[in-house]
């Protein structure tokens, strides 16, 4: 039976983010089978580093509209478009799910493989206030969880009809379940994020090369690995969004490898160490972030 695992043992998430200055109803595929939620990550014990000051340049917010809604207008447009793409692919996947068998087709494989929602992370302005950024990342996690819940269709494509009682079919359905709840929550979460933006004062948008922009990319990479690293298939979509702390400072690795810092849940990173990351900025491309996990 063909299985293709799309992660590596050492580095399980790579995200490139060039940070820049309404759905309705569930879109999840058939989820009649139960399954355990994925999205767990392994942690790399580290020595707590110190946090250096943000040395990145800044740019003042240019909008004259009071509040943060105008500054996140593009983000919300990108989120709505991404939601529509995910729903369309979910409908295509549903066509391959029968009453008695699941038959992952090449067409579904192509649709899932081409589905990309990383533009949502790239649309979060650097310097977005903590709670609003958390809410924005929550919408990103919602979409990533739903996208990741479909990955088994790429792994079992071409294997022929799978009885719904088979191990493979149960694997597919268990993963699909990880997309159902986020899909049902999307409209409410989007509305909540819009309300929060409306009552948040306008803020200074940081430059794409700034530490604030890197922090967005690092948190987004954590969302990616929680949903797709180490053979997971969605399930990490915390509400109102992930509370992740980024700690900068050298973290010893192995041989001559040194990481740039750690990222993890704000409530536990000091005790558990978090996941080590490297973050490199390239003009015209943005921040390239790699997390060391699994």
CA distance 132 to 149: 26
CA distance 242 to 79: 17
Domain boundaries, the chain: 11-292
Question: What's residue 12's pLDDT?
Answer: 40
User: Residue 77: which H helix or E strand, with range?
Assistant: helix 73-94
pTM for the whole thing? Answer: 0.80
CA distance 200 to 16: 27
Q: Answer whether 202's CB lies under 8 Å from 272's CB.
A: no
User: Residue 97: which H helix or E strand, with range?
Assistant: none
pLDDT single digits (tens) 253-291: 777 788 999 999 998 888 778 999 999 999 988 999 999
pLDDT single digits (tens) 137-191: 999 999 999 999 999 999 998 888 999 999 999 999 999 999 999 999 999 999 9
Question: What's residue 230's pLDDT?
Answer: 86
Q: Answer whether 250's CB lies under 8 Å from 259's CB.
A: yes
Going by C-alpha positions, the residue among 271, 293, 125, 286 that lies closest to residue 222 is 293
Q: Answer whether 181's CB lies under 8 Å from 237's CB.
A: yes
Q: Answer whether 264's CB lies under 8 Å from 43's CB.
A: yes
């Amino acid at each position: 039976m063909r299985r293709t695992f799309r992660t590596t043992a050492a580095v399980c998430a790579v995200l490139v983010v060039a940070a820049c200055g309404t759905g309705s109803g569930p879109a999840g595929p058939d989820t009649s089978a139960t399954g355990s939620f994925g999205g767990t990550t392994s942690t790399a014990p580290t020595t707590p580093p110190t946090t250096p000051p943000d040395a990145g340049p800044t740019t003042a917010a240019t909008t004259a509209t009071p509040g943060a809604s105008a500054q996140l207008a593009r983000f919300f447009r990108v989120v709505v478009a991404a939601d529509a793409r995910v729903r369309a692919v979910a409908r295509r996947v549903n066509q391959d799910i029968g009453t008695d068998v699941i038959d992952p087709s090449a067409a579904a494989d192509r649709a899932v493989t081409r589905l990309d929602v990383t533009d949502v992370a790239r649309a979060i302005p650097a310097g977005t206030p903590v709670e609003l950024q958390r809410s924005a990342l929550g919408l990103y996690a919602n979409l990533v969880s739903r996208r990741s819940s479909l990955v088994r269709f790429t792994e079992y494509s071409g294997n022929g009809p799978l009885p719904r009682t088979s191990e493979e079919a149960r694997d597919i359905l268990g993963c699909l379940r990880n997309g159902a709840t986020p899909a049902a929550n999307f409209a409410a979460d989007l509305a909540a994020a819009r309300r929060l933006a409306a009552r948040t004062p306008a803020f200074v948008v940081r430059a794409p090369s700034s530490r604030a922009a890197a922090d967005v990319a690092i948190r987004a990479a954590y969302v990616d690995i929680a949903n797709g690293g180490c053979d997971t298939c969605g399930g990490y979509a915390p509400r109102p969004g992930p509370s992740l702390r980024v700690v900068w400072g050298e973290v010893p690795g192995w041989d001559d490898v040194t990481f740039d810092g750690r990222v993890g849940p704000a409530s536990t990173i000091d005790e558990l160490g978090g996941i080590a990351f490297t973050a490199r900025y390239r003009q015209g491309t943005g921040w390239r972030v790699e997390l060391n996990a699994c």
